[in-house]
Structure 1
Amino acid sequence: MASEPAASPRFFVLKKGEIGSRHDVDVGKSEPVNRGDAALCPRCGGAIGMLQWLPPYRVELVLHGEELGDFMETSGDDLLVSERFARAFREEGLTGLEGFHPVEVVRVRRKRRGPKPVHVPHYLAVTPCFSHAAVDMARSRIVYADDPPTCEECREATKNAIYGYTLEPGTWRGEDIFRPRGLYGRLTVSERFARFVERHGFTHMKLTPTEQLVWDPIGLGPPVTKQG
C-alpha cells in the first residue's frame, strides 16, 4: 500500500502585537548607537538587510499599553526578546536566532497616564538569520513596483503589495525563524515556532499564515492572474 505524501510545511509571518494592545511599546536605540555594514547578496552585491547594530546595546522604551511583553521590533533587523523567551528557545533547541546580547534598558516612559510597569524584564538583542529558503515567485501573489527580481540568489526587488506568499519547495533548511530570499523584510517562522509561542504564552507576537498575509499600503489590489 502506497504511503500518503508528506504534508507541505506551514510557515507564518511574525510581527509585533497590534497597536493599542496591552503590550504596545516603541523601542528607541539610546546613544551611542554604533553601526556595522549591512549584509550583501553574495551574487549581485546588493544590500539585503539593514546596517548591523553593534554594542553597546542600550534602549529607551515608550510604553503605550499596560505592561512590557516578550517581543519587540527595533528600527533595524534586530529584535528584542525577553530572558524567559531566550531561555526557552535555547532549551527546546529552536534555531534561526543569533547574538543573544544583553540589553540595557536606560529608561521606560509611559505614553499615557498611569503607573510605570512594576517589572521590567531583562531583554536580549537577537538577529534572525538570512535563510536559503526562497519565496516561490510563481505561486506567491506579489505586486512588484517595476520589474520582478533579476538576481536568482537574493530575489530582491521593490514591492508595492503582497497578497500571500509561499516558499519554494526544497529551499528551506529547517530554521525556525528566518528571513527568506525574496522577502528579507518579512520575518518568517516555522509551525514548530508557532506552537512554541502558543505553548509558552509569549506576548506581543502576532502570527499570520504566510499565504494569508495582506500588505497593500496604497490600495493596488491583488496581482492580476495571467490567463493561459
Structure 2
Amino acid sequence: MATELPSTPRFFVLKHELWGPHDTTFSSVSPANVGEAPRCPVCGIIIGMLPWLPPYRGEVTLHSGSFGDFIQPAGYEVIISERMAEAFRAEGLTGLQGFHPVEVMRVRGRRKKPQPLEVPRYFVATPWFGRAAIDEAHSRLRIREPMTCTECRSISVDSIHGFSLDPGTWAGEDVFRPRGEQGIIVVSERFAAFVQRHALTNMKLIPTEEYVWDTSRLGPPTGAPEAPRE
C-alpha cells in the first residue's frame, strides 16, 4: 500500500476587499497616540510602522450595503467585528493579539439608507511578526536591495509576482507577517476555512503564489522561476 505524503500547506495574503458589498473603512481621530516602531533585535533596522496605542477611537465609513467584519486601516493593526473576534478565540486560532475595543465616534456613509444600520462592536488586533520567512529562491521578486540580516531577512523590492515561504520556518500561526516582507499579512489554510465557514466579510484571500504587487508595472523579474512552489 502506497504511503500518502503530507500535503504542503498553502498560504494566502489577507487584504481588504475594496468595492465589495461590505466595503468598510476606518480612520482614527487626530491626534492618534502611537508608540515606537518595532526593530529587528539583531540588526536594529525598523521592520514595521508606528504601533497604534490607546485610546482606540475613530470614524467608520460605510461604502456599500452593510458593515464588514474586517477593516484594514493605515498602520499594522487590523480592526475586526465582535463576532469575528469571538469566533477566532473560540476556535483557538492564533496570530492576532490585543482585541481591544474600538470607540466608533462617527459613522459616515456614501449612500442614504431608509433606516439606520446598527454598527457592530469592533476590536483592534495586531498580527504577529512570525518566524515564517520569504523564500527568495522560489519567489518572483524584483529585488532592489538584497537581504543583509538573516534574522529579519528584510529586503527592498520593486515588485512581487508571487512568493513562497521558506520550508520549515513557519511555526503554525494562522495570521502573521513574514520575515522579509513584514508589510504583508499572510494567513493559513485553516484561517481561510474559518472565514468561509463563518461567512466573514470584507476580506480578500489571495494565494501567495498568485499575489501581485507591481505599482510601477515593471512586470516579473528576468530569470525568475515560472511559478513559486505552494
TM-score above 0.5, yes or no: yes
Tell me the distance in 2 between the aligned counterparts of 1:167 and 1:205.
Answer: 22
Tell me the distance in 1 between the aligned counterparts of 2:46 and 2:118.
Answer: 39
2:215 aligned counterpart, secondary structure:
coil
Task: Find 1:206's aligned residue among 204, 221, 226.
Answer: 204
Considering fraction of residues, name the structure with more strand. Answer: 1
What is the aligned partner in structure 1 of residue 122 from structure 2?
123
Paired amino acid for 1:104:
E
What is the aligned partner in structure 1 of residue 179 from structure 2?
181
Paired amino acid for 1:99:
G
Paired amino acid for 1:71:
F
Q: State the Cα distance separating 1:111 from its structure 2 match.
A: 2.5
Render the CA deviation track for 1:82-113: whole Å, top value 9, x for unaligned.
00000000000000000000000000011244
What is the aligned partner in structure 2 of residue 222 from structure 1?
220
Q: State the Cα distance separating 1:116 from its structure 2 match.
A: 6.7
Q: State the Cα distance separating 1:32 from its structure 2 match.
A: 4.0
After superposition, the CA RMSD in angstroms is 1.5
Paired amino acid for 1:158:
S
Tell me the distance in 1 between the aligned counterparts of 2:115 and 2:142.
Answer: 44
TM-score, normalised to structure 1, is: 0.94
Render the CA deviation track for 1:151-184: whole Å, top value 9, x for unaligned.
1111212211101011000000000000000111
1:129 aligned counterpart, secondary structure:
strand
User: Structure 1 residues 62 and 226, CA, compared in 2 at 3 Å: closer, same or farther?
Assistant: closer
Q: Which runs of 4+ in 1 moved over 2 A?
A: 1-5, 111-117
The reply to whether residue 149 of structure 1 matches residue 147 of structure 2 is yes
1:95 aligned counterpart, secondary structure:
coil
Q: Is the 2:145–2:157 contact (alpha carbons within 8 Å) kept by the matching residues of 1?
A: no
Q: State the Cα distance separating 1:5 from its structure 2 match.
A: 2.2
TM-score, normalised to structure 2, is: 0.93
Tell me the distance in 2 between the aligned counterparts of 1:23 and 1:6.
Answer: 37
What is the aligned partner in structure 2 of residue 9 from structure 1?
9
Unpaired runs of at least 5, structure 1: none
Q: State the Cα distance separating 1:188 from its structure 2 match.
A: 0.2
Unpaired runs of at least 5, structure 2: 226-230
Q: State the Cα distance separating 1:114 from its structure 2 match.
A: 3.8
2:48 aligned counterpart, secondary structure:
strand
Q: Is the 1:109–1:116 contact (alpha carbons within 8 Å) kept by the matching residues of 2?
A: no
Q: State the Cα distance separating 1:24 from its structure 2 match.
A: 1.5
1:52 aligned counterpart, secondary structure:
coil
User: Structure 1 residues 226 and 213, CA, compared in 2 at 3 Å: closer, same or farther?
Assistant: closer
Q: Is the 1:39–1:47 contact (alpha carbons within 8 Å) kept by the matching residues of 2?
A: yes
User: Structure 1 residues 78 and 116, CA, compared in 2 at 3 Å: closer, same or farther?
Assistant: farther
The count of aligned residue pairs is 225
What is the aligned partner in structure 1 of residue 228 from structure 2?
none
Tell me the distance in 2 between the aligned counterparts of 1:110 and 1:142.
Answer: 39
Q: Which moved more, 1:185-194 or 1:103-112?
A: 103-112
User: Structure 1 residues 148 and 3, CA, compared in 2 at 3 Å: closer, same or farther?
Assistant: same
Paired amino acid for 1:137:
E
Paired amino acid for 2:49:
M
Q: Is the 1:32–1:56 contact (alpha carbons within 8 Å) kept by the matching residues of 2?
A: no
Tell me the distance in 2 between the aligned counterparts of 1:218 and 1:226.
Answer: 18
What is the aligned partner in structure 2 of residue 48 from structure 1?
47
